[in-house]
Structure 1
Amino acid sequence: MSEQIAREQMEYDVVIVGAGPSGLSAAIRLKQLDPDLSVVLLEKGSEVGAHILSGAILDPVGLTALIPDWKEKGAPLNTPVKEDHFFLLGPMGKLKLPNWPVPKLMNNHGNYIVSMGNVCRWLAQQAEELGVEIFPGMSCSALVYGDNGEVRGVVAGEFGLNADGTPGPNYEPGMELLGKYVLLAEGVRGSLSKQVMAKYDLRNGYPAQKYGLGMKEIWEIDPKKHHPGRVSHTMGWPLGSNAGGGSFIYHAENNQVFIGLVVHLNYNNPHMYPYQEFQRFKHHPMVAELLQGGKRVAYGARAISEGGFQSLPKMVFPGGALLGCSAGMVNVPRIKGNHNAMLSGKAAAEAAHAAIKAGRQGDELSAYETEVRTGAIGQDLWKVRNVKPLWSHFGLAASMFAGGLDMWTNSLFGFSLFGTLTHHKSDAAETGKAKDHKPIDYPKPDGVLSFDRLTNVAFSFTNHEESQPAHLKLVDPTVPIAVNLPEFAEPAQRYCPAGVYEVVATDAANPKFVINFQNCVHCKTCDIKDPSQNIVWTTPQGGDGPNYPNM
């Protein structure tokens, strides 16, 4: 439809899609390099930070490289990490692992427990003071291509479509925002990033990306139990052999703890229910004692790119580049990616500035690709490149021993005992047939420590205009009932952490697949894990989705 509508156009030097840490860092660096550059940053959330969810422990290396005097400028890094704890959990007990065998790169000394939503809000203030134009509530629904096939810009701000996709009475066609370069900083599995990967075959020669699903709650707890700066990570129960992953419990400021579970999406059993695993985790005695008497104040979920160095695609294309999690820069054993996202934004800005200064536009920013692969980001990811493949192929115990040994040899001697392992299948292809796996019996949430999905989604403050087209598209509407239900017990009912998908049986012979897109928290899990790859996540109209307070 976007090709058929005449739209107003606005020209900029650089167009940036996504006000996360990578996009904001790119915008800031561009204006630091040349205050006269025109830079626009487009954010689909209702405000900067509304769609940001991360653990998060922030390694400030990226922030320091971008804004060396961030402390003096009042960046919201208020809770330095004071103590690190690692636990292996069983159903009722725990084993505390000593810190001394843990590779030094896992040490959180010098890092901060933060709300990345609030960090991004602060970065937006810095960007606007430099003259960056930031437009929140502006979903980018399409790419604009130039005469030579390069990415020339984006369509942003289309509102008022009817449910069938036709213009409604208050339709606004949006604008074409054009730039010499377009930087895509959409986060994991961004819709425009998927399009450029397909159009320019950016994944050719690189293994599939691997993903996890991260679910997080913020709790206000009894001040007597609160220890600002305490960091705990766990492995083992409740996931066990059902899936890889682990938990985090971070004691932030204001008597709050950030608690979450990451489930690797390469699990085989289609009866697996990641959200219920998270709720069950909170009933472990160690966790229940901490939360007892407290209250949950926020909930959210998002996918995490976990493939590491091997799964980085080609990151440049004619007219632009992929930044941060759009490419996949999370260091899995450290459970950190925000520092690399910021460094990638800085590197992309420097490459774009040099190209514009040289009179170029619309070509590939090869200097950015080189910097990511050989600079600080590449070095960070290279040292841990085998941890995720070891975990995926051989399980938790092997990955703890072999992965730890591999990180030590990489850190101390600069080589790996395993060379460079690779990933074999996509997470969707890892899903097994329902007949080959046993259903899992999950306890009913008690409404005190654990909650049903719809109750928790209310704490993500998600809202979507219901009259618009569903932003979750089915390639073939018959597949959920004709294929996924008989073969995989339709896992969308379970892998979605927001209760978007249902199989409704008004009578046994005619089940229906229902998409409650209003519940969507934009985690992208469905786009990743659907075994038939039949669900395509696209952007709803601007401002819709979660409204995270300080995730």
Structure 2
Amino acid sequence: MIEREQIEMDVVFVGAGPANLAAALWLKKKIAEHDEFIEKGFKQGNKIGEIEIGIVEKGPFVGAHILSGAVMDPIAIRELMPDFLEQGCPVDTVVTEDAAWYLTENRSINAPIVPPPLKNKGKYIISLSKMCEWLAEKCEEEGINIFPEFPASEVLYDGNDRVIGIRTGDKGIDKEGHPKDNFEPGVDLLAKVTVLGEGSRGSLAKQLMARLGLMEGKEPQVFSIGVKELWEVPAGNFEEGKVVHTLGFPSDTQTYGGGWIYGMKNNVISIGYVTGLDYKDPLIDPHAEFQKFKTHPKIAEILRGGKMIKYGAKTINAGGYWTMPKLYSDGVLLVGDTASFLNGQRIKGIHTAMKSGMLAAETIVDALAHDDFSSKHLKHYSEKVNMSWIYDELYPVRNFHAAFQQGRWPALINTGLQFLTGGLAWGAMPKEHHIAGHLRMEELNGNFKHDAKKGLGPNDHLKSDRYRNVAFDKQLTFDKITDVFHAGVAHNEDQPSHLRILDPEVCATKCAEEYGNPCQRFCPAAVYEMEDNSTTGRKEIKVNFSNCVHCKTCDIADPYQIINWVTPEGGGGPNYKGM
């Protein structure tokens, strides 16, 4: 039995993303305001006083694992900190021009009218990594404890499913699961309220939702993956402050997808491509989709003479309002992308994440004042969300992503009508609007013949018509290993794999035959490989976990749901500083 240190705190936030950092700052502010009211004689519960707040973060520093496009709507940060610019918020540049391009294989059509949801003029192009690093500094100035390199590995409960805190991961365990000389057991952080803001497909949130039934009566969460590079390009190739969103090439009409190009300072551009992880074709490779996107003449011209400087990939919780879990239970709240707060129509979630955190903070103040951390008090969080501008923004786009599960052209008609009718679903929408992505993947068919015994290699799909013309020249287009290098990924290889294959036999047999082992393709970091086994005479799964960029795609897209992503030893993963 391992003896673990127990640290008692009042509130523990899991994940140092925009939702939790904003929540921690707002919590300090609102406690001070509450106590001032009490001192003036207003009856709003008891005085709270100083409390212990902790934020645990699995990365080596705040921002290390944070990745987004990103154009930020400043509505939430203006509420949090009206003078955010004067305080040094690291916005990169102001959006000065919007464009929407429809791409065919060789042509681009510039939309004469930019769709209203994609109008960003006056908003801010940012590095979300830098933004979170800055917010963390503000938290520390307020006396909020931040613990980097402390991945939360387990939710702690009392005997009645009330959440009482989290356990951080053990350190110093070798790949066989044995303690090394530097072994340090994880710590139990006990809290009155635990806030899960782990981002898309949070590992603790996944456990919590299953145990407490938080998705009962909800539609399944659906996800996309954004694959991104930062480029330095010659002056004049792309204007600072210009924001372009694309539709069409290279996605097929049954696959949700689109690109972005954002002009930043010093001739740096953020460029990337989003692929819905509810695609049907098992041979789709989101990384290859992005590389193919860059070969379009219009895109290649922008990048000509430039240099790729950083790479990353992250999943996006795209389903929105209908796919939100129950946001609270005894002792716990869910915020940000963990809880489906992204506006899929606008492709924005930073502002809604921050606002959700701030509303969670207000709920916690009330719970502290009444010394009641049960669902009875914490349910007010859900009420606050539905009374806020989050509801006003997300409810009218509640059917947006589901429309694209019917194909691009019906979706464009459907979403146009949604925009005019306050979000009503039109056309042949299924009764259950959102279908989980892994259930939509279709089995291999005659379009690509393969020998089930030999299996499909990680690059065999590139021989298909879809990617036949994508050659990784390492100037414009890059293979996964090269891109992983530019993500600054580092894991100690002498530790248990944080990518748990629950039944490897399925990989070698059923999945190889039915889907051709799509993990080799949907992973943007070349983690999964089917390797020849001379003893069995077949290909078997090999997991190169040290390549992992923590995007969670495998946990989401595996058609058998037998890949379980758990937190690795603290500090491991990508380095997205500045992304």
Q: Which range, TM-score by smaller chain?
A: over 0.9
Residue 38 (structure 2) pairs with residue 30 (structure 1): no
| CA pair 368-436 structure 1, distance change in 2 beyond 3 A | farther
Residue aligning to 1:218: 230
- Does structure 2 retain, via aligned residues, the 8 Å contact 1:31–1:131? no
Letter in 2 for 1:524: K
After superposition, residues 438-477 of structure 1 pair within 5 angstroms as 438=448, 440-441=464-465, 442=467, 443-477=470-504
SS of the residue aligned with 2:236?
A: helix
Task: String of CA shifts for 1:482-527, please: whole Å, max 9, x gaps.
Answer: 2111111000010000000001125592212100000000000000
Structure 1 match to 2:18: 21
Alignment counterpart, residue 441 of structure 2, candidates 423, 426, 431: 431
Q: Secondary structure of 1:233's partner?
A: strand
Larger mean CA deviation between 419-428 and 224-233 belongs to: 419-428
Q: Give 1:164 deviation, angstroms.
A: 2.2
Segments of structure 1 that go 5 or more residues without pairing to the other structure are: none
Q: 1:94 and 1:215 mapped to 2: Cα distance?
A: 21
What is residue 348 of structure 2 aligned with on the other side? 336
Check whether the contact 1:158–1:173 (CA below 8 A) recurs between aligned residues. yes
Tell me which of 5, 16, 25 is aligned to 2:2: 5
Q: Deviations over 1:229-250 (max 9, x none)?
A: 1000111111123521100000
Query: SS in structure 1 opposite 2:194?
Result: strand
Kept in 1: contact 2:127–2:578 (CA 8 A): yes
How far the C-alpha of 1:422 sits from its partner, in A, is 4.3
Aligned equivalent of 1:182, options 194, 204, 213: 194
Aligned length: 541
Deviations 1:252-302 (A, max 9, x none): 112110000000011111111111111011111111111111100000001
The 8 Å contact of residues 157 and 172 in structure 1, kept in 2 or not, is answered as no
Q: 368, 384, 389: which is aligned to 1:371? A: 384
Which whole-Å CA distance do the structure 2 matches of 1:486 and 1:127 have between them? Answer: 52
Conserved in 2, the CA contact under 8 Å of 1:46 and 1:543? yes
Contact kept in structure 2, 1:181 and 1:362, CA below 8 Å: no
Cα distance in 1 for residues equivalent to 2:341 and 2:411: 20
CA distance in 1, matches of 2:343, 2:261: 18
Instruction: Provide the rounded CA distance (Å) in 1 between the counterparts of 2:160 and 2:9.
Output: 19
2:566 corresponds to which of 528, 535, 538: 538
8 Å Cα contact 1:250-1:258 kept in structure 2: yes
Note if contact 1:215-1:260 (Cα within 8 Å) is conserved in structure 2: yes
1:424 positional shift: 4.3
- Give the partner amino acid of 2:146: I
Task: Tell me if the contact between 1:242 and 1:272 (Cα under 8 Å) persists in the aligned partners.
Answer: no
Match in the other structure for 1:317: 329
Aligned to 1:503: 530
1:139 offset after TM fit, Å?
A: 0.6
2:394 matched to 1:381? yes
Please give the alpha-carbon distance, in whole angstroms, between the structure 2 residues aligned to 1:546 and 1:341: 22
Aligned partner of residue 296 in structure 1, secondary structure = strand
| Aligned residue runs from structure 1 range 19-58, under 5 A | 19-34=16-31, 36-58=50-72
For the residue of structure 1 that corresponds to 2:98, the secondary structure is strand
Contact 1:210 1:307 in 2 (8 A): yes
| Aligned equivalent of 1:416 | 424
Q: What code does the residue aligned with 1:432 have?
A: E
Structure 1 residues 155-207: Cα deviation after superposition (integer angstroms, max 9, x where no partner): 12520112122322211002111111000010011110001101100000001
Q: Which position in structure 1 is the counterpart of 2:373?
A: 361
Contact 1:32 1:130 in 2 (8 A): no
What's the CA shift string for 1:343-387, capped at 9, x where partnerless? Answer: 010000110111011111354511111122332112211111222
The 1-side partners of 2:447 and 2:311 are apart by 30
| Equivalent position of 2:455 in the other structure | none
Identity %: 41
- RMSD, aligned α-carbons: 1.6
C-alpha distance in 2, partners of 1:231/1:221? Answer: 15
Q: Note the C-alpha offset of 1:437.
A: 4.7
Does the alignment pair 1:487 with 2:514? Answer: yes
The letter for the 2-side match of 1:513 is I
Shift of 1:148: 3.1
Q: How do 1:49-198 and structure 2 match up within 5 A?
A: 49-99=63-113, 102-103=115-116, 105-198=117-210
Task: Kindly indicate whether the alpha-carbon contact (under 8 Å) linking 1:30 and 1:37 is maintained by their aligned counterparts in 2.
Answer: no
Residue-by-residue CA offset, 1:296-338 (whole Å, 9 max, x unaligned): 0000001101111111111111111111011111111211001
Which residue does 1:392 correspond to in 2? 405
**Structure 1 length normalisation: TM-score?**
0.95
Task: Give the aligned partner of residue 248 of structure 1.
Answer: 260
Paired amino acid for 2:220: A
- Residue type of the alignment partner of 1:38: E
Contact 2:438/2:558 (8 A) holds in 1: yes
Q: Distance in 2 between matches of 1:54 and 1:78?
A: 14
- In the alignment, does 2:260 pair up with 1:263? no
Secondary structure of 1:541's partner? coil
Greater mean alpha carbon deviation, residues 376-385 or residues 300-309: 376-385
Task: Tell me how far 1:60 sits from its aligned partner.
Answer: 0.5
